[in-house]
Amino acid sequence: MRKVYVETLGEGPDLVLLHGWAMHSGIWKRVRSQLAQHFRLHLIDLPGHGASPTPWIHGPDALKNMTEMIVDSLPENSIVCGWSLGGQIAMKLSLDMPERINKLILISTTPSFIQRKEWVWAMEKATLESFIGNLNQDCASTLNRFFTLQIKGDINTISLLRKLRKYIYKEGMPDQDGLQIGMKALLTTDLCRSIKNINHPVILLHGKNDAIVPPDAARWLHDNLQDSKLIMFPDCGHIPFLSHTDQFLSSIFKVTRI
């Protein structure tokens, strides 16, 4: 199994950054230099995203397969920070490889992106399936609609959308197979019953106006995790590290006691 692409910089405690669906590690550009002053950063491109390979990860459990590709790049005693889909991978790493992890930081994350029995803080399954169909027909337009949804509810939408497009398209269009595999993970992953088995300290960072992952999903995680702290950002959508950079960094340094 081929390894994922990792960029390492800085010195200090190991901090692993895992981006979300359709993105790559360049999304962390606004915060990487500040974080690298305090941490040894490991910026990972998720399987099928950025410079990481897409083959070898096909199978019935997309999240498990993606996680297995990442684990060899995970330093011992890491703080793992995951955003959106990256947050689900961070939780899966915590469950499957607990000895490798010191702490989790989950940004705009949910145990399930779609509604299920007794899980209402998500989109309907048919909505996500329709999104997949549109992705096959017109990838560029579908991604642009996705970007618009990510900034919804934020106080500076125009500026934020410009930043988002700048960082993402710098590497060209995302790989179609990688997008499909990542979307399969979003569609099939359900960690609700496993949350109680996460033993690491968890920091939850979430926008109060997040249109992709409702804030109540973060509140549920806070109530059901063994050891967690929840920080909500006002006037913030799905991407707090881009829209509320100073508050985001301040929160990271505070919760990691830097």
The torsion angles phi and psi of 12, rounded to 5 degrees, stand at 130, -160
Say which of 42, 49, 200, 238 is annotated catalytic. Answer: 238
> Which token pair is 22?
């359709």
Say which of 25, 52, 78, 84 is annotated catalytic. Answer: 84
CB 93 within 8 A of CB 67: yes
Split the chain (258 residues) into runs of 10 and give each run's mean pLDDT: 88 97 94 97 94 71 89 94 98 96 98 95 91 87 90 89 83 82 92 97 97 97 97 96 96 86
The whole-number pLDDT of residue 192 equals 97
pLDDT digits (tens, 9 = 90+) for 205-217: 999 999 999 999 9
Say which of 24, 112, 210, 244 is annotated catalytic. Answer: 210
Fold of 6-255: Rossmann fold (3.40.50)
C-alpha distances in Å from residue 99, one per residue of 44, 103, 154, 160, 197:
20, 11, 37, 37, 14
Q: Hey, what amino acid is at 29?
A: K
How many angstroms separate the CA atoms of 92 and 80, rounded?
A: 11
Assess whether 84 carries a catalytic annotation.
yes
pLDDT digits (tens, 9 = 90+) for 111-170: 999 999 999 999 999 988 888 888 888 988 888 889 999 999 998 888 888 888 888 877
Assess whether 227 carries a catalytic annotation.
no
